């Protein structure tokens, strides 16, 4: 089992600013921001929306690598999005699921885990993805396996799906992370930062001049 | 619905610059989905629920597309959480709804008339109710222009009188 922060640190070492990353609410976005990736990623994408937002982005920009760093509870809320990904087969999309087996965001904090998600029971997300037609699906248990799976996915054609089994509670440097959370980017601030980043990369205009 | 009216809707979307659509079909609007899915001017994504559709459309907007969410009246209730998040982030989205529940459509009035417009009001989603076929095109173009400028979702409700 991997720590969420260590997993994201590994991912940050592989992902370039030419790639577009979408992260959900909770510690994944907080850590990703801390790792210096917040302003070039779309963060805090809420319940059930992370994978479908990444899908829309990947279809709009088929020549650019797009990575969703989803989580088990978040993905299960909109599980049908895997069927949509399986049918659209975006070659540039990688979906990573930080699977801690519990609803940590709704948990009691202070090092205690929340109520279990379905993956703590019988649900196998890799099998679900494969059943949806995402044939390049795998489950990893260690950092080394994770790095190898991500590098393979980014070097090849997707869609690919990586379930990363992470520790149930986020502990960083022996401390429970929820108690030390930093503010990070405001959601609209992040929107502008990310949209401007895509505009620069793609040499396009996303936000209409003179809007709002 | 009549194919001519379906074409009016699709032509309005094209004229408004819409080039991406996410949707979950409404049986009364089938011809519109058919036309969009087979038209290379659009990337069409059929989704499993309307909240997923709003999220796919949001991603497409960040990729430079001009998306529309095309859903049944009932789908608005399903999409509300995602739409609220789009609103919070101030992301534009044109929502097209064949509106069941208008006066003259008594079969569906109970649930849809009761919730649709109040829900849009509560969510601060501006909308236009279109009741005549010759208003369809302009309403779509106007609402697309507004969603882009105001950076918030805007809806077009096409009533049975306009469509059927």
Task: Tell me the pLDDT tens digit for each residue of A130-175.
Answer: 999 999 999 999 999 999 999 999 999 999 999 999 999 887 655 5
Cβ of B64 within 8 Å of Cβ of A208? The answer is: no
- Determine the distance in angstroms separating the CA of B158 from the nearest CA of chain A, rounded to an integer: 26
Instruction: State the CATH number of the domain containing residue A92.
Output: 3.40.50.970
pLDDT at A152: 97
Q: Fold for domain B3-163?
A: Rossmann fold (3.40.50)
d(CA A87, CA A80): 11
Residue A208 in domain? no
Contact B84, B123 (CB under 8 A): yes
Structure tokens, A104: 């940590």
Domain around A105: 4-202
pLDDT at A193: 95
Cβ of A212 within 8 Å of Cβ of B60? The answer is: no
pLDDT at B79: 96
d(CA A104, CA A86): 28
Residue A207 in domain? no
What tens digit of pLDDT does each residue of A87-100 get?
A: 999 999 999 999 99
Q: For residue A9, is pLDDT > 60? A: yes
Measuring CA to CA, which residue among A203, A177, A179, A168 is closest to residue A64? A203
Residue A212 in domain? no
pLDDT at A183: 54
Residue A123, SS3 per DSSP:
coil
Cis peptide before A159 (omega within 30 of 0): yes
Query: What string of pLDDT tens digits covers the 164 residues of chain B?
Result: 888 999 999 999 999 999 999 999 888 889 999 999 999 999 999 999 999 999 999 999 999 999 999 999 999 999 999 999 999 999 999 999 999 877 777 666 677 888 999 999 999 999 999 999 999 999 999 999 999 999 999 999 999 888 87
Interface residues of chain A, partner chain B, Cβ below 8 Å: 22, 42, 45-49, 52-61, 78, 80-81, 83-84, 87-88, 187-188, 191, 194-195, 198-199, 202, 204-208, 210-212
d(CA B93, CA B54): 8
Read off the pTM: 0.95
Number of H helices, E strands in chain B: 8, 6
pLDDT band at A105 (very low <50, low <70, confident <90, very high): low
This model of the complex carries an ipTM of 0.96
d(CA A169, CA A159): 29
Cβ of B51 within 8 Å of Cβ of A48? The answer is: yes
Find the residue in B nearest to A195 (Cα). Answer: B62
pLDDT at A86: 98
A27-36, A52-61, B51-60, B109-118 — which is least confidently predicted? B109-118
Q: Which positions ≥6 away from A172 have C-beta within 8 Å? A: A3, A5, A31, A180
């Amino acid at each position: 089992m991997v720590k969420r922060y260590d997993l994201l640190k590994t991912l940050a070492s592989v992902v370039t600013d030419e790639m577009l990353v979408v992260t959900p609410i909770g510690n994944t976005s907080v850590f990703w921001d801390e790792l210096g990736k917040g302003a070039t990623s779309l963060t805090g994408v809420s319940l059930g929306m992370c994978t479908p937002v990444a899908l829309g982005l990947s279809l709009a920009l088929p020549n650019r690598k797009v990575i969703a760093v989803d989580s088990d509870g978040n993905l299960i809320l909109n599980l049908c999005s895997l069927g949509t990904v399986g049918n659209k087969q975006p070659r540039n999309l990688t979906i990573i699921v930080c699977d801690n087996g519990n609803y940590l965001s709704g948990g009691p904090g202070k090092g205690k885990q929340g109520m279990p998600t379905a993956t703590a029971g019988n649900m196998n997300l890799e099998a679900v993805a494969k059943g949806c037609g995402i044939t390049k699906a795998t489950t990893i248990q260690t950092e080394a396996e994770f790095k190898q799976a991500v590098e393979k996915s980014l070097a090849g054609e997707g869609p690919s799906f990586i379930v990363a089994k992470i520790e149930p509670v986020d502990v960083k440097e022996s401390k429970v992370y929820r108690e030390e959370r930093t503010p990070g980017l405001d959601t609209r601030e992040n929107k502008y930062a990310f949209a401007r980043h895509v505009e620069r990369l793609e040499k396009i205009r996303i936000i209409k001049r003179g809007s709002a | 619905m009549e194919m001519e009216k379906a074409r009016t809707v699709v032509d309005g979307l094209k004229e408004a610059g819409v080039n991406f659509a996410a949707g979950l079909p409404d049986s009364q609007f089938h011809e519109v989905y058919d036309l969009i899915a087979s038209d290379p001017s659009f990337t069409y994504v059929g989704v499993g629920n309307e909240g997923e559709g709003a999220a796919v459309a949001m991603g497409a907007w960040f990729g430079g597309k001009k998306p529309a969410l095309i859903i049944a009246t009932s789908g608005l209730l399903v999409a509300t959480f995602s739409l609220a998040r789009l609103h919070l982030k101030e992301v534009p989205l044109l929502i097209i709804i064949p509106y069941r529940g208008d006066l003259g459509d008594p079969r569906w009035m109970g649930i849809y008339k009761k919730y649709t417009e109040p829900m849009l009001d509560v969510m601060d989603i501006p909308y236009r109710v279109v009741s005549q076929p010759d208003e369809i095109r302009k309403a779509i173009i106007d609402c697309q222009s507004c969603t882009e400028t105001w950076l918030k979702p805007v809806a077009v409700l096409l009533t049975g009188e306009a469509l059927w």
